[in-house]
Amino acid sequence: MHCDRWATIYDFEELQNQIKQIVKSNYAKGFYRLSIDKHSLFQGDIIKLDKKFAYLNKDGQYQAEYFSGFWMILGNSCDFDRDIEDLPFTNMTPLQKLNSDIPEKIVNGLKNFQNYKHMYIPSFDNNDEYFIDFTKIMTISKEYLKSDIYNFKIAELTFDSWVLLHSCLVRYFARDDGRND
């Protein structure tokens, strides 16, 4: 049986150009808002949560792995305003440190947003740089997150950074399906 490849559902060139324009604008300097709202959660927020990333391994057994203790909220901002009974969960992804042993070619690719499944995350504490892997998404209770927003939330994206996050998410989730590659 032969299956035709399904094309992207967005304009690939437009999306690539949008990412390139943001990269050219020295995005890392204005990646985070100077003052953050410690009473609300938004898509793209960086939170400190000393938890492991949980998943099912190749044998179907639960496994957990620790990354950095920092996470990015991926769920839509408006979902936090919805009733907990209607929508009790949201998604997040662990931030992984951009270690010095990663080859420069890969680091440059990350910083120029050339990798589809990863997104570069500049330092929010003048310390480490990070990246996220869109294949590593975990579900979390909104009620738990809302219980201590003030202590969990440590950084909030600017509008341009949020657009970049969306561009990377769309590029990853809505790319052509590659069924004939």
Taking only the tens place, the pLDDT of each residue in 93-152 is: 999 999 989 999 999 999 988 888 999 999 998 889 999 999 999 999 999 998 988 889
Q: What is the pLDDT of residue 31?
A: 93
Angle at 6 between CA 2 and CA 11, to 5 degrees: 160
- pLDDT over 70 at 80, yes or no: yes
Q: Does residue 5 sit within a domain? A: no
Please count the other Cβ atoms lying within 10 Å of the Cβ belonging to residue 81.
Answer: 10
Q: Is residue 87 part of a domain?
A: yes
Domain that holds residue 69: 18-173
Asked whether residue 10 is domain-assigned, the answer is: no
> Could you tell me if 29 and 50 are in contact, meaning their C-beta atoms sit under 8 angstroms apart?
no
**Count: domains in the chain:** 1
Asked if the structure places residue 38 within a domain, the reply is yes
Q: Is residue 97 part of a domain?
A: yes
- The answer as to whether 90 is a domain residue is yes
